[in-house]
Structure 1
Amino acid sequence: METLTDREQQVLSWLAGAHDQMLDLLRRLVNIDSGSYCKPGVDAVVAQLRGHLEQHGVACQVHRNESAGDCMRAAVPGGAGRPVLLMGHCDTVFAEGTAAQRPFRIDGDTAYGPGVADMKAGLVVNSFVLSAFARAGLPMPIAALYTSDEEIASPASRAFIEANARDARVVLNGEPGRPSGNVVTGRKGAMFVDCEVTGIPAHSGGNHHEGASAIEAICRKVVQLHRLTDYESGTTVNVGLISGGSSVNTVAPLAAASIDVRFKTREAMDDVQAKLAAIIASVEVPGTCAHIRQQRYFLPLVQSAASRALFETYVDSAAALGFAAGGEFSGGSADSGFTAAAGIPTLCGTGPVGGKVHTADEWLKVSTMVPRAQAIALTALRVLKSSS
């Protein structure tokens, strides 16, 4: 490892001794229900993080949202210039009451609980990195964003992310490290589309011929939508939810579907989006009409040359700290796609190692918390010193 100043070395040394404090904060966060639609829970997570950060001299600014959870920007005081930006989301996919049913627990080197890896451990690690810089008195431009609704494609957080990331030097997104120990260098983008079909109701016995079935229409669309899947290009389409009808003996006047679309590039996104819209607009059953009710999307994380250089800096930093990390592609989507699309060098999956996210078996490798925090800190130091 290259020579660090005393204060820079203090950052890594303090993190090395912070294992127990990290676990204490992680326990508190995991034991808070913070589903994407649970504003009180997300706000409670933000409050816990703000309390920790301000206790260690990190300045926090809360961005209020009326219905979604609040977001927050935290920064080490005194740092001038373009910042190294850490990111993380405070929401989970789990329903209220889950934390009480299966609270945080540790078995050997493995921690369990709702959102323990995705991504409350990443929030903890990012917060301790900022705290370490502040405690060491390093007036370097390093900041973190804490967002509220990533699990539903960040409808309330995207503008906050893009506004605050605009001048960042680089972005390190604290999604969980892969079970392999790798970070994430590329991700698919995603669209979540809700569509609705209206038909003409009629008695299914006496007046069947007068009706137009919304259920038949949407089923015909499902077949066409699934044909858009192209494994060679990486585009997939899945109608994951479907509903409709009013009674068994009525020609269905209404039907709805929720569609998940994944793609590797912005061009593939534009292509499948146009085809999907055409399918929904077409009329297969006379008398029916379909429209898109809601559409949310993530942009893909495509590795640029600058993002590749950031990845290599992280890999070198990890090696200097005694562990190996490679890069891999993920079919899942994340907020890192927004920053990468804006041209900011971006690396994802820098949080502690975990797996089986979004399930009751979600796990976190506890022993990776300190080294992954140190790797973020050393990467930030190298980026800031190289561009000063």
Structure 2
Amino acid sequence: MKKVAAALAALALVHSTQAAELNKSLLARAEKAKPEVLKLLGRMVNIDSGSFNGKGLDKVGALAAAELQKLGARIETFPASPASGHNIQATFTGKGKGRILLVAHLDTVYGDGTAASRPFRIEGHRAYGPGIMDDKGGVAAAIGALKILQGYKDYAKITVLLNTNEETGSHGSRALIEKLAREHDVAFNLEPGRAADGLVVARKGSGEIELEVTGKAAHAGSASKDGKNAAQEAAHQLMQLSDLGDEDKHTTVNWTVIKSGDRSNVIPDRASMQADVRVMVAEEFDRVEHDLARLSANKMIPETRVEAHLVRGFPPMPPSPVTDALAQQAADIYAELGRKLTLESSGGAADASLIFAAGVPTLDGLGIVGGGIHTADEYAEIDSIAPRLYLLARLIQVYGKGDQLPR
């Protein structure tokens, strides 16, 4: 990784002192491709593909696979068990040296029926719809960039991976992602472009705390003292575990789901809580896990049973000179258009972290620019489509040659 960092840093220095000229032909193709990208985006957005909707995921995947196959890709599908749907792997073979991995995901956070209630629409310079940014815009951007590169073969291999379960932690795709990462020299993750026209150069790792309390049921009116109130113990646990985060280390622990009981006249014998955990450094997972066990043993109602454990999700993608060099290259390419990239760290977790952890140089946030992710107002900036296609296509051209990355 140190050799990679040095090579990429040297390349970035060259480009910062002598920026490349605008590829007018490529930009013209990017502008021409914009209506097709919007049309494909609309078709995908109008299909429900929540993480648990296998039929919807496969339907969107089939649309994307058909487009990639038209461009000459070899298509393979892999079950995403224990998740839903099938992961799509599209492989292009060229004549150069560089091996490039493009990653996007098909699943959204929206439930069935959302596409019908909020279908794709265009208002002014923005397009709206569930999942339009996260991450169907990324899928469309990958296809669009490869379309404007038709005829370009100065790469050894380009692989497009479309994941069906990123929103739930990529547990059904992790092995495939890690395998493909090791087979490539550089990876570009097509998560949404940031609202300030930026890329993501660092991400927090994610996890989840699951806490279960078992008590004893009783009649709330006539025999409440015979019960052991699981809800009350859960409330105690929530209060004492509310400080598990560490602001100085950018670790957050937020309790988000609490469930107990279904009748007001029964002392509940069960309660459960879930918390979202985000860390900037992997060691914080160990610290949170240790403190969780130590603190949860302190019960307010001794006769209850409390079980708490941390489920680790995505690892963190910390700041790195390797990523910085990739970002500098991207910034130089964007400068060809007279545009400036912003570089951001994100509290959100993504597949880029898995690829980076596998030792592969990774740049994230290369999808279409927009905002309102995971909300009813999710939108894509239409005017960002052509510049983002150009950026991704030029990155493929630069790293497809493979000269700057050691074997």
Measured against the shorter chain, the TM-score band is over 0.9
Distance 1:242 1:195 in 2: 10
Residue 325 (structure 2) aligned to one of 292, 309, 313: 309
Shift of 1:195: 2.3
Q: Could you tell me which residue of structure 2 aligns to residue 325 of structure 1?
A: 341
* Contact 1:121–1:369 (CA under 8 A) maintained in structure 2: no
Q: Is the 8 A contact 2:128 2:379 kept in 1?
A: yes
Question: Is the 8 Å Cα contact of residues 34 and 41 (structure 1) preserved in structure 2?
Answer: yes
1:223 aligns with 2:250: no
Q: Does the aligned pair in 2 maintain the 1:82–1:167 contact within 8 Å?
A: no
* SS of alignment partner, residue 178 of structure 2: helix
Query: What SS does the corresponding residue of 2:218 show, helix, strand or coil?
Result: coil
> How does 1:226-265 map onto structure 2 within 5 Å?
226-265=242-281
In structure 1, which of residues 27, 42, 53 is the aligned counterpart of residue 42 of structure 2?
Answer: 27
Query: Counterparts of 1:355 and 1:3 in 2: how far apart (Å)?
Result: 31
Amino acid at match of 1:244: S
1:10 CA drift (Å): 6.4
Alignment of 1:71 with 2:104, yes or no, is no
**Structure 2: how far apart are the matches of 1:294 and 1:234?**
18
- In the alignment, is the contact (CA less than 8 A) between 1:130 and 1:142 conserved in 2? no
* Equivalent residue letter for 1:58: A
Which among 136, 142, 147 is matched to residue 158 of structure 2? 142
Q: Of the candidates 181, 192, 199, which is equivalent to residue 176 of structure 1? A: 192
Task: Give the alignment's TM-score, normalised by structure 1.
Answer: 0.92
Q: Map of 1:127-138 to 2, 5 A cutoff?
A: 127-138=143-154
- Tell me, yes or no, if the aligned pair for 1:130 and 1:143 is still in contact at 8 Å: no
Give 1:207 deviation, angstroms.
Answer: 3.1
Matched ranges for 1:1-388 at <5 A: 2=20, 13-66=28-81, 67-78=83-94, 83-292=99-308, 295-385=311-401, 386-387=403-404
- Unaligned 5+ segments in structure 2 are 1-18
- Partners of 2:262 and 2:117 in 1: how far apart? 35
Structure 2 CA distance, aligned partners of 1:377 and 1:103? Answer: 29
Q: Distance in 2 between matches of 1:205 and 1:238?
A: 34
Pairwise CA distance, 1:176: 1.0
Q: Deviations over 1:134-169 (max 9, x none)?
A: 443445422211001111111212222111112321
In the TM superposition, what is the alpha-carbon distance from 1:131 to its structure 2 partner?
3.3
Farther off after superposition, 26-35 or 246-255: 246-255
State the distance in 1 between where 2:164 and 2:328 align. 30
The answer as to whether partners of 1:194 and 1:294 remain within 8 angstroms in 2 is yes
Shift of 1:338: 1.2
Query: What is the aligned length?
Result: 385
Q: For 2:175, give the aligned amino acid.
A: A
Q: CA deviation at 1:291?
A: 2.2
2:147 corresponds to which letter in structure 1?
S
Q: CA RMSD in A?
A: 2.2
Output the amino acid matched with 2:404.
Answer: S
**Structure 1 residues 64-118: Cα deviation after superposition (integer angstroms, max 9, x where no partner):** 2355121111121235755211111111111111111111111121100001111
**Does the 8 A contact of 1:76 with 1:134 survive in 2?**
no
Q: Supply the AA of the counterpart residue of 1:272.
A: V
Q: Which runs of 5 or more structure 1 residues have no equivalent in the other structure?
A: none
Which structure 1 residue ranges, 4+ long, deviate > 4 Å from structure 2? Answer: 8-13, 79-82
Listed one character per residue, the Cα deviations across residues 167-217 of structure 1 (whole Å, up to 9, x for unaligned) are 321111111111111111111111123322111122334433332211111
Instruction: Check whether the contact 1:57–1:134 (CA below 8 A) recurs between aligned residues.
Output: no
TM-score by length of 2: 0.88
- 2: CA distance, partners of 1:109 / 1:248: 51
Describe the SS at the equivalent of 1:239.
strand
